[in-house]
Structure 1
Amino acid sequence: MSVQSYAAMQANEVLQRYDYEFGELLVDEVEIDVEYCGICHSDLSMINNEWNMSKYPLIAGHEVIGRISALGESAKTKGLQIGQKVGLGWNAKSCQHCDQCISGNQVNCTQAVTTISNRGGFANKVRADWQWAIPLPDHIDLVSAGPLLCAGITVFKPLLTHNINAMSKVAVIGIGGLGHIAIKLLHALGAEVTAFTSSTSKADSIREMGATHVVNSKDPKELEAVAGKFDLVISTVAVSLKWTDFFNALAVNGKFHTVGIVLKPLEIPSMSLINGDKSVTGSATGSPWQLRTLLNFAADKCVTPMVEVFPMSQINEAIAHLEEGKAKYKVVLKNDLN
């Protein structure tokens, strides 16, 4: 079956139309007709080979929303149905039998295959193993749901890991594609949410997202005022900052959790951690169960990422819009390839 897609043929080049043939549908696989696909900064990193792991032609896209069009023989017994609405995120496959998979930690399976490596969602069709095709609640907004499959789960997993609840005080560094979803999720949980931002012009819109407080991360007085306050600080940024300012903002037993990919090592004075029994943690995306939990929670609480929609045929314009920092806050492609 011919698949229509947009692929990067080399690093730092515009994407081109690229059609290819699917092989035989494997027994554990699900085929999904793509309706929407978000563009993540990870897609840009892979397209431009910033992590030195890209293989071309590369079909990016891993925030997929669509409907099942075919099921492998084993996948037919897993409760999925033709025509069912599903989402597909960063991972497309895992081995299903290693200790990590058996324990529900499939995202850390050493044999896991990413959606991009498996040919991703900048196309009219994708395939993945059945457990990574996440059923969508009937009442979820399909247009904005895609970013939950990567950006959303990336910031939701720390909330599960650190048992965040309505009594928690949490701060978010960087209010972009990841950070704005974190604020919405924390607000829905009932937590007290503080946003660290260097863009003070965003303060009103950040409060509308659900932030209780907005702190200018460049103002020493404002940083000093929140010292020792937070149970958890989530960093979503991909640039180096003066990290001690944020370690100082942690309460006793506080956790600094990074989900932004900062290529330079974090500079962490040991006394910043020793005083107050603080710690630094990090996480990747989530397991199928965590993804299902997120989607149900987001649907029930009406947590919707803020998106701008482009037709997939304008994918290069959409990528340029994101690269130029104009997106507010996630870019989603609507499939018009069929």
Structure 2
Amino acid sequence: MSNNTIRAYAAKEAGAKLEAYEFDAGELEAHQVEVKVEYCGLCHSDLSVLNNDWGVSSYPVVAGHEIIGTISRLGSEAKGLKVGQRVGIGWNAESCESCDQCISGHQVLCTGEQTPTIVGHASGFADKVRAGWQWAIPLPDEVNPESAGPLLCGGITVFNPIIQHDIKAIHHVGVVGIGGLGHIAIKLLKAWGCEITAFTSNLDKTDELKAMGADHVVNSRDSEALKSQTGKFDLLLSTVNVTLDWASYLSTLAPNGSLHLLGIPLEPVSIPAPLLISGTKSLAGSTTGSPSTLRQLLKFAARKNIAPQIELYPMSKVNEAIEHLKSGNVRYRVVLKSDFS
């Protein structure tokens, strides 16, 4: 087998079961690293790309963008990394490194040639994966590699707004939707020192959410419960992809508060302008995070012993893992363990 051969699990068409797939990745480019995959998280975005829900998929698709592994090869231009070092790769695999956004350290907003890890790129449901060296994020020794993968996508997605909005321990933050993203948000905000309210449609999770760090749990489908939260939140993180009563949620914001969208609702978001103008409130959104913010997150997770709650599957049972994710019963993130012979 060639040194450039990658073994993977791929979907040959939209909605198809994943099957074993080998391909020649070609020569490692000078700016790239090659990582031997140990673990890879399974995210709803993987399902969207596997099913071509966003119309951007190119088959065969090798998904997986919450990758933990060790560097097996370094391109000649790679800096600050070494063979055998454990790293993580998240949503982005490449950025141009020359546009204004990249030069200013905002590579996640690259306006040049940006390559998502699972769009037009072979990704983590494989024995090896490649990425630009800046996107291979060193994993601190204190972080458990088994559960670390979801920090590289779900974790950074909820961490970035904490930095963006300059959230401090004095602030009250609400988290809407407690799944893969929401449960990590609670853990991060607890370590940050914030007061936390979890909004969930399943109150059976109440004890579990309080054990994670939520101070309060509110039924997200109860209009009277929402009214009782009026004027409370400095930041409201919405992780759901469904349409909500946006006016009611805006009313829960304190003056200068922000409703920050992380999930992608299926319909346009309708916002009454007076609710924004009154109290100087804002509607915001963000993608994942640049390499510097990813490094900050992993260092913070190491210092505060923050780990996503996962369910572990062997990678050879990826189709079973996908069906489990579709069931909606995951607590709270599926991680695949590489078991290529």
TM-score, normalization by structure 2: 0.97
* Equivalent position of 1:153 in the other structure: 156
Query: Secondary structure of the residue that 2:340 maps to in structure 1?
Result: coil
Query: Secondary structure of the residue that 2:225 maps to in structure 1?
Result: helix
Letter in 2 for 1:35: E
* Equivalent position of 1:84 in the other structure: 85
Q: Which runs of 5+ in 1 are unaligned?
A: none
Of 102-111 and 170-179, deviating more is 102-111
Alpha-carbon distance, 1:221 to partner: 2.7
* Equivalent position of 2:130 in the other structure: 127
* Equivalent position of 2:105 in the other structure: 104
Write the deviation string for residues 73-107 of structure 1: whole angstroms up to 9, x where unpaired: 111xx110100000000100011111000011101
CA separation in 2, counterparts of 1:273 and 1:255? 9
Of 286-295 and 259-268, deviating more is 259-268
* Equivalent position of 2:269 in the other structure: 266
Which among 56, 59, 64 is matched to residue 56 of structure 1?
A: 59
Write the deviation string for residues 2-35 of structure 1: whole angstroms up to 9, x where unpaired: 1110001100111111100121111000000000
* Equivalent position of 2:207 in the other structure: 204
CA separation in 1, counterparts of 2:173 and 2:226? 14
CA separation in 2, counterparts of 1:39 and 1:218? 27
Alpha-carbon distance, 1:219 to partner: 2.1
CA separation in 1, counterparts of 2:73 and 2:5? 14
* Equivalent position of 2:298 in the other structure: 295
Query: Secondary structure of the residue that 1:70 maps to in structure 2?
Result: strand
Letter in 2 for 1:310: Y
Letter in 2 for 1:197: T
CA separation in 2, counterparts of 1:66 and 1:282? 30
Of 259-268 and 217-226, deviating more is 217-226
Percent of paired sites with the same residue: 57
Which among 201, 211, 219 is matched to residue 222 of structure 2?
A: 219
Write the deviation string for residues 165-191 of structure 1: whole angstroms up to 9, x where unpaired: 111110000000000000000000000
Which among 225, 231, 234 is matched to residue 234 of structure 2?
A: 231
Alpha-carbon distance, 1:306 to partner: 0.4
* Equivalent position of 2:188 in the other structure: 185
Asked if 1:167 corresponds to 2:170, the answer is yes
Letter in 1 for 2:81: L
Off by >3 Å, runs of 4+ in structure 1:
none
CA separation in 2, counterparts of 1:323 and 1:216? 23
Query: Secondary structure of the residue that 2:244 maps to in structure 1?
Result: coil
Letter in 2 for 1:161: Q
Query: Secondary structure of the residue that 1:202 maps to in structure 2?
Result: helix
CA separation in 2, counterparts of 1:89 and 1:217? 30
Write the deviation string for residues 213-254 of structure 1: whole angstroms up to 9, x where unpaired: 111122233212210010000000011111111100000011
CA separation in 2, counterparts of 1:243 and 1:259? 14
Computed over aligned residues only, the root mean square deviation of the Cα atoms, in angstroms, reads 0.7
Which among 228, 232, 255 is matched to residue 252 of structure 1?
A: 255
CA separation in 1, counterparts of 2:288 and 2:330? 22
Write the deviation string for residues 46-90 of structure 1: whole angstroms up to 9, x where unpaired: 000110111100100000000000000111xx1101000000001
Alpha-carbon distance, 1:198 to partner: 1.2
Asked if 1:324 corresponds to 2:327, the answer is yes
* Equivalent position of 1:40 in the other structure: 43
Query: Secondary structure of the residue that 2:269 maps to in structure 1?
Result: coil
* Equivalent position of 1:115 in the other structure: 117
Write the deviation string for residues 122-156 of structure 1: whole angstroms up to 9, x where unpaired: 00000001000000001101111000000000000
Write the deviation string for residues 279-312 of structure 1: whole angstroms up to 9, x where unpaired: 1000001000000000110111011100000000
Query: Secondary structure of the residue that 1:11 maps to in structure 2?
Result: coil
CA separation in 1, counterparts of 2:187 and 2:248? 24
* Equivalent position of 1:31 in the other structure: 34
Which among 51, 74, 79 is matched to residue 71 of structure 1?
A: 74
Letter in 2 for 1:293: Q
Asked if 1:337 corresponds to 2:329, the answer is no
Query: Secondary structure of the residue that 1:66 maps to in structure 2?
Result: strand
Query: Secondary structure of the residue that 1:179 maps to in structure 2?
Result: helix
Aligned residues: 336
